[in-house]
Structure 1
């Protein structure tokens, strides 16, 4: 029964030292490996290898790689999740619509991030339009990364973003820090109405 309980322990929360093509001649006591040539999990115990055939779907942590591997329906081990991976940013839009008169000297939009958001220099792919154009002057919206300008009589705005503007969630800045907030405001609005803004940027999860 001790032999069977030892084998069972290899499948409860599998954690192995490494992936190897064939099991080495010996290992540290109770040290586990995945033998990729057979798919088996092997444990060195009392001077011998004890092996078990995993069921499809078993997930094992590989300490030497800091990765999770899974036994697939093809009866081979495949990478499931890499804890060292630098996850690529994903393109997303931040969009809002402010109906009616554009409010002067007040925040029109405030984004508190739960993920890092980057608005790239020049704001390619971003758009800003009005239902009613400003009359008698230019409408300028400001935020920390730049400006959005609507010329007198024009309903389509132009972006001025000199460099990448990165907004961080609070957890990346310290235990008691406040997150960076993207706030868009305006001064004189010249009776502009119906503001729509779509910011094309990239989000990235932070560990």
Structure 2
């Protein structure tokens, strides 16, 4: 990241549903409480199965955030006041006005409640309206049907599959499918996101 995005990418974002704020050491135990669920990591490029795995995972989040490799966010559910999961900006290329939203996961108690929708709405708005991005991209495992549906439901456009993209835990080679939202599309996507997750699904 250059100084501009280093300064402005990580910010406290909030709507009536969620708070999305930069990760800190104080989040360690709250994140641990929801992260020790193998279902979360089924399609991730790393797995959190043991306390040692979690310590490595959390240390990586802090290090990446501090170094500017990613802007790592903790998601707080306003209805309960609890940490619900995490999401990040990464692959930030300010010269090309391009970044990725990813590294997204939610604890079991927080899935299917619209939290992913509202958190991504905040990060998309910050990307286009504060960082002045031209392109926001997403990628996931081609096998991750739920994530692909979720990306379509927030208005992202499916672009294509990069075959044999990377290794997964256990040695499988993942085919990665890419999605994006462009600046020209943002007003329409923003309007659809504002309707809410259930209604947005119905119109996807």
Please confirm whether the aligned pair reaches a TM-score higher than 0.5, indicating the same fold. no
Structure with higher Rg: it is 1
TM-score (norm 2): 0.23
- Greater helix percent: which structure? 2
TM-score norm. by structure 1 comes to: 0.23
Structure showing greater relative contact order (alpha-carbon pairs closer than 8 Å, 6 or more residues apart): 1
